[in-house]
Each structure stands twice: as structure tokens, then as C-alpha cells.
Amino acid sequence: MRTIGHWIDGRETSGRSDRQQSVFNPATGQVQANVALASVEDVHDAVASASRAFATWSDSSLSERTKILFAFRELMNRRADELAVAITDEHGKVTSDARGEVQRGLEVVEFACGIPQLLKGEYSDQVSSGVDLFSYRQPLGVVVGITPFNFPAMVPMWMYPIAIACGNAFILKPSERDPSASLLMAELWRDAGLPDGVFNVVQGDVTAVNALLDHPDVAAVSFVGSTPIARTIHERATANGKRVQALGGAKNHSIILPDADVDFAAKHLVAAAFGSAGERCMAISAAVPVGAIAEPLLERVAELANAIKVGSGRDATNEMGPVVTSAARDRIVELITGGERQGARVAVDGRIITVPGFEEGFFVGPTLLDHVTTEMDVYREEIFGPVLSFVRAQSVDEAIATINANPYGNGTAIFTSSGESARRFHREVKVGMIGINVPIPVPMAYFSFGGWKDSLFGDHHVHGPEGVSFYTRAKVVTSRWPERSATSDASFSFPTSK
Ligand code: NAD
């Protein structure tokens, strides 16, 4: 059986520990590889390599960095299909969806290719007589990315293109459930000419994570994953004096106003709820129809949900693959059953589904629940599966209040034909990313991505301008080159401009 190793100091290694974990193919339910789980010593090796590399990489010219970033982009473009298939085999999502995540990641690389422009400082001439003032930003050092299973290519690419472009050395700790994409990305960096040690991969679990969070030579940590872990990571890493951005889970609502186009809203809701089997942090999991639109909307959504083709992600005719593990499948099924017990009506039931030829796969079918209330567990939990709950509201005020009372604040959307309602919605709702007739409002790479409330701990969103700011710190230089003939104006008073 294949063992998926780490990438340390420019090469793959199985590391110093013999701890391993199975990697499944969720469509077949079979173990297809083992992944090495790093020991504390492995983490120390990676940090030592990254620290050495940082000393020279941080001093490399912007032209050299840009050249390597462009080369990386070309290589990834060439191998994007291969990367997408590797993602499908470990994550389960359909290959066209995996290709989409590679594309969205590539857009961050393209943004990072503009690093000479992004790192431009500021200069003020003659702020006082003979005195100039300028500022610029420098990289932090060794920075770490800890990432979730649901976007094994895109989420790391929210981080490392910008971190590396800014002159940092990067250590990726990917999800142990779908680790192969990270090694492919490491090979591409090597082939693009990135010096050894600037990009490292440490596979592993909590042991690796804690060793990274506690290492004195790690300057900053970017985390994306579930809220309880995000909170813990933020607390532990900030207590250790590191800069941290920790993105957590989500419960994304979509409001559908009575003036919305029912068919348009239904089609977008179904794609946003069931695409990638609902395993997206921006998936819509709660639909909040306002007033009388609820009935026709429910009917159309049910019709569309029943028509979704579920099966192996490798088959291009399928629209939805399995969920990631058997444990995830069991948890999702239990939540649906719990919802039914607490009074929800199961309008479309995905609990029992058989995919011919893939009987052992981790499949849950699209599920639609009606009359869900905010007290039910199925509403309170982040399901992270193909379940859409209808939480009916009688007014826009009630709908907005429901969203604002929810502890998560990642994404939300409104379906309406009223500009006035849309404007009111985006101004009043306490959520980081908002769609107006756009159900999954993931910002482009040149904007920043991040939620509010329990969906993000720390001050910085990821990628875009905030990514550059996260991976650098500012210096401000006040400079004077006195002419030899000038008289000294040294004074014991606090300096003011003349
Ligand atoms: P997870 O929190 O279980 O794991 C994320 C990472 O943390 C993995 O690398 C994992 O190995 C590590 N980890 C797990 N348990 C740990 C522990 N006890 N201590 C230290 N590290 C630990 O998340 P997941 O199941 O891989 O991913 C799904 C979650 O990620 C969902 O909650 C989803 O909403 C969230 N997510 C959020 C965003 C966002 O932008 N806010 C994006 C993608 C995914």
C-alpha cells in the first residue's frame, strides 16, 4: 500500500515516526493509501529547514520571486486535471468541482504574481527640513498553514502563494483525510525553481499541530477548519506570541423574499446546498423563505433535489459525490433523524441511498427538511453534508434577526428583485460575505475572504490585501542626510517638523 509522506527540505520523506493513518476513497469506501503522521521531531526538522531557507529567500529580489510564481502557475495549469482527479479520489467531490477549486486557488497565485506592486511602500519627501519618511513591509519568517479536508488544494492556496511571495518560508499541515494534493503542489514548487525549504509539508494530526503552535521559530499561523478547533488554535498560538488568523465553521442562511423569482432561487439554492455534498464552508444550509413564497419554493427545490445524480465523483455525469468518511455519513444521518424527531418534516430523504457498483461508498442523498426551528439540533449544528433546512419566516425583520442571532457569520445571501431590500439586507446583516442573488459569494482573490463572529478568530481575513498585510509587518524609516555645512538642530524637546 502507498504511503503518503511529508515534504521537508525539498524532498519527500516518510519522517522519523512510524505512526500512520488510512486514507480512504469515499466513493468505494476502501482504504487506498496510508498517510504518515509527523512526530514532534519531524516538525522540528521542517521548521529548521524553513528557518534556513527564510534567511536567503527573504533576501531574494522581487523579480526572482515573481519569476518562480509565474512558473508555478504555468506548471499547475498544466497539471490541474491530474490534481483534480487526486482530490476526487480522496475527498469524493465530482472532478469538475475539484477542477473548480484548483482554478480558484490559481487565482490567488495570479494575484501573488503582482507582488512587486502589492509590496510597494510609501514615501514622503521633506517632512521636515532635510528629513524624509518612508515605510515598507518585511516578511515575518516561518509561517504555518493548517487546513481542512474540504478544499485540499484551494484553501492552502489562499495562504502559501502570498506568504511565499512576501518572502516567508511556509509549512503546510494539510488534512490527514486527503493529503495527496499537498505533495503534488510541493513538486510543482520544486519544478518551478523554489529553493528547498521555502515550502514544506508536514502530514499529521494534533501532535504535529501542537508542535507547530508551540515552536518558538514559527512566527504566524493561518488556520481553516471547524470552530472548536479554530478557537483552540487561536488561543494556543496567540498565547505563544504568534500572529494568528483562524477561520472556523459556518451556518449559511439564504433569505428568499416574496418578490424573488422562484425558479431562479430554487436552482441556485439546490446548487449551493448540495454541490460538493454540502461540504463547503460557504454552502447554504438554511433557506429562510419569507411569507407565501415558502410553498412554491419548497415544491420546486424538492423537485430539483430529487433529480440530482449522485455517484462516484470520477463519473462526469454525476453532480454529487459521497461525503468524506463513514463517520461523517453517520453523523449527518443522525442529525436528520434527530431533526425529524424534534418536529421537522423530511420533504426529501437522503438517508438511505444505494449507488450501484459503489455499495460500500459513504453516500448520503440530498435531503430537504421543512419547518425547522432554531431550537432544533439540526439547525444549531453545522451539518456539513447535503442537507437543506427550510426555516420559515413571516417578515424580513424576522429573517434578518434569525441570521444575526446565529453564532456563525461566514456567508449569507438574499434572493429578491428589490434593490431597497437588498441594500437593507447587506447593511444590517452581521456576516462577513454577502451575496445578492448570488448564493455562494466567495470573493475573488484580489479581495479578502473571511467571516464574522464564530467563523473567524483574529483580525485578518485571508488572501487579497489582508493576506499581504497578514504575512508582512511594517517598518517606517525617518531619514536625514545632513549637508556637511548644516548646523545641528539637536534638541532635548520632542522632535517636531520645521
Ligand atoms: P477540522 O477542524 O476537523 O480540521 C482542520 C484541521 O485541523 C486539519 O488539518 C486537522 O488535522 C486539524 N485538527 C483536527 N483536530 C485537531 C485538534 N484537536 N487539534 C489540532 N488540530 C486539529 O475541520 P475539517 O473537518 O477538516 O473541515 C471542515 C470544517 O472546516 C468545517 O467546519 C468547515 O466549515 C470549515 N471550513 C471553514 C472555512 C472558512 O473559510 N471559514 C473553509 C473551509 C472549511
- From the CA of 227, how far away is ligand 1's center (Å)? 8
Please report the pLDDT score of residue 490 as a whole number: 83
Please report the pLDDT score of residue 467 as a whole number: 98
Please report the pLDDT score of residue 378 as a whole number: 98
Please report the pLDDT score of residue 302 as a whole number: 98
Q: What is the DSSP letter of 93?
A: -
Instruction: Say if residues 32 and 52 touch (Cβ distance below 8 Å).
Output: no
The question of whether 166 is a catalytic residue gets the answer no
Q: Which of 94, 113, 221, 281 is catalytic?
A: 281
Q: What is the DSSP letter of 495?
A: P
- From the CA of 142, how far away is ligand 1's center (Å)? 21
Topology of domain 252-436 in CATH is Aldehyde Dehydrogenase; Chain A, domain 2 (3.40.309)
- From the CA of 225, how far away is ligand 1's center (Å)? 3
Please report the pLDDT score of residue 491 as a whole number: 83
Percent of the chain scoring above 70 in pLDDT: 99
**Alpha-carbon distance 151 to 313, whole Å?**
15
- From the CA of 389, how far away is ligand 1's center (Å)? 23
Task: Give the nearest ligand 1 atom to 151 CA.
Answer: 43
Q: Which stretches does DSSP call E strand in 88-182? A: 122-128, 131-139, 142-146, 169-173
Please report the pLDDT score of residue 27 as a whole number: 98
| 444: number of Cβ within 10 Å | 12
**Alpha-carbon distance 271 to 319, whole Å?**
9
Instruction: Say if residues 325 and 332 touch (Cβ distance below 8 Å).
Output: no
Please report the pLDDT score of residue 337 as a whole number: 98
Task: Give the nearest ligand 1 atom to 233 CA.
Answer: 20
Q: What is the pLDDT of residues 110-128, one digit of tens each?
A: 999 999 999 999 999 999 9
- From the CA of 117, how far away is ligand 1's center (Å)? 33
Please report the pLDDT score of residue 345 as a whole number: 98
Backbone angles phi, psi at 308, to 5 degrees: -65, 135
Please report the pLDDT score of residue 496 as a whole number: 83
Please report the pLDDT score of residue 374 as a whole number: 98
Spans of the chain, pLDDT less than 50 = none
Using CB distances shorter than 6 Å, the residues near ligand 1 are 146-151, 155, 173, 175-176, 205-206, 209, 224-226, 229, 247-250, 281, 382, 384, 410, 451, 455
Instruction: Say if residues 369 and 390 touch (Cβ distance below 8 Å).
Output: yes
Ordered by start, the domain boundaries in the chain are 3-248+455-477, 252-436
**Alpha-carbon distance 162 to 184, whole Å?**
18
Q: What is the pLDDT of residues 73-95, one digit of tens each?
A: 999 999 999 999 999 999 999 99
Answer whether 3-248+455-477 and 252-436 agree in fold.
no
Task: Give the nearest ligand 1 atom to 146 CA.
Answer: 9
Task: Give the nearest ligand 1 atom to 250 CA.
Answer: 34
Which CATH architecture group holds 3-248+455-477? 3-Layer(aba) Sandwich (3.40)
State pTM to two decimals: 0.97
Question: What rounded mean pLDDT belongs to the chain?
Answer: 97
Q: How far is CA 257 from the centre of its chain?
A: 29
Residue among 182, 222, 247, 281 whose CB has most ligand 1 atoms within 8 A, to mutate: 281
> Which residue's CA is the nearest one to ligand 1's atom 18?
206
**Alpha-carbon distance 406 to 400, whole Å?**
10
